[in-house]
């Protein structure tokens, strides 16, 4: 199935499930949709925090078809699950956005760790949460985001345990992909970035870190979600966690060098 075929299945209502494992060679994206009144602040927030909020594309107000992300795309219908927040609270999970679309809504597509995880696995680096069919473990760190307007808070990080040799290789590989979170932000002692207990992730599922492994931490796309929640805006639309936008962008094309 090509990304376009998958999006067509989503659009027709045939595909309603998490997108992990589909179209693995192509970038999946976190979706954020905001009224223009808040969009400029959010764009500056992303620009200032590129590890957590690497932008693949930003639309014009009202634009729901971003050619930079793929052909024949309708962002009002091509994501298999939407969350609509009003005043910071989840208010609806519509199947499409057609009824609530407005001419002032601005689309942000933010790179996703699925892309670099694919590159790591292609390089022979095993990912424990994938092996164990779990969601990756995510933690609130004490690394402050650089604020913009109402958006601030701390960085949320994802953790993958690795032997030192694989951690070094993973740093090399992910450094090539700044558009999908790039290099790790920390490795080793979790307490140094404010994580008290690796067994108690704030999101996702815990995995064991063996005695001969290091926990390796990447900036996580949940960071902007938390920043948006903290801002308690009148209206925010996102994808549902795990139900990503599947783009036509080959992961390999995102390599910076």
In degrees, rounded to 5, the angle at the alpha carbon of residue 98 between the alpha carbons of residues 93 and 101 is: 90
Nearer to its own copies, 61 or 188 (CB): 188
Instruction: Tell me which of 99, 103, 131, 212 binds its own copies, using CB under 8 A.
Output: 212
Of the pair 78, 166, the CB lying nearest its own copies is at 166
Burial state string for 137-175 with b = 16 or more CB within 10 A and e = fewer than 16: bbbbbebebeebeebbbbbbbbbbbbeeebbebbeebbe
**Is residue 13 near its own copies by the rule CB under 8 A?**
no
Q: Fill in the per-residue mask, 168 to 197: x = in contact with its own copies (CB under 8 A), - = not in contact.
A: x--xx--x-------xxxxxxx--x-----
Sign of the torsion angle spanned by Cα atoms 251, 119, 6, 98: negative
Note whether 199 binds its own copies by CB under 8 A. no
Q: Which is nearer to its own copies, 127 or 157 (CB)?
A: 157
State the burial class of residue 214 (Cβ atoms within 10 Å of its Cβ: 0-12, 13-18, 19+).
Answer: buried
Segment 136 to 165, residues that bind its own copies, using CB under 8 A: 164-165
List residues near its own copies by CB under 8 A: 164-165, 167-168, 171-172, 175, 183-189, 192, 212, 214, 257
């Amino acid at each position: 199935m090509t990304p376009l075929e998958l999006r067509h299945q989503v659009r027709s209502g045939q595909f309603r499930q998490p997108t992990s494992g589909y179209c693995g060679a192509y970038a999946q994206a976190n979706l954020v949709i905001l009224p223009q009144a808040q969009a400029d602040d959010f764009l500056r927030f992303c620009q200032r925090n590129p590890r957590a909020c690497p932008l693949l594309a930003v639309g014009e107000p009202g634009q729901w078809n971003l050619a930079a992300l793929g052909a024949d795309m309708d962002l009002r219908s091509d994501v298999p699950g939407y969350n609509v927040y009003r005043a910071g609270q989840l208010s609806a999970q519509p199947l499409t956005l057609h009824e609530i679309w407005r001419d002032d809504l601005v689309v942000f597509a933010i790179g996703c760790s699925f892309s670099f995880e694919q590159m790591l696995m292609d390089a022979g680096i095993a990912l424990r949460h994938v092996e164990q069919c779990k969601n990756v473990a995510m933690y609130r760190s004490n690394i402050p985001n650089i604020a913009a307007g109402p958006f601030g808070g701390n960085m949320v990080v994802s953790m993958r345990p690795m032997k030192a040799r694989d951690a070094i290789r993973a740093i090399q590989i992910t450094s090539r992909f700044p558009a999908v979170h790039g290099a790790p932000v920390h490795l080793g002692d979790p307490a140094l970035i404010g994580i008290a207990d690796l067994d108690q992730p704030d999101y996702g599922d815990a995995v064991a870190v063996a005695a001969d492994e290091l926990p390796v931490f990447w900036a996580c796309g949940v960071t902007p979600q938390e920043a948006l929640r903290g801002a308690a805006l009148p209206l925010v639309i996102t994808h549902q966690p795990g139900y990503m936008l599947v783009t036509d962008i080959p992961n390999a094309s995102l390599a910076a060098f």
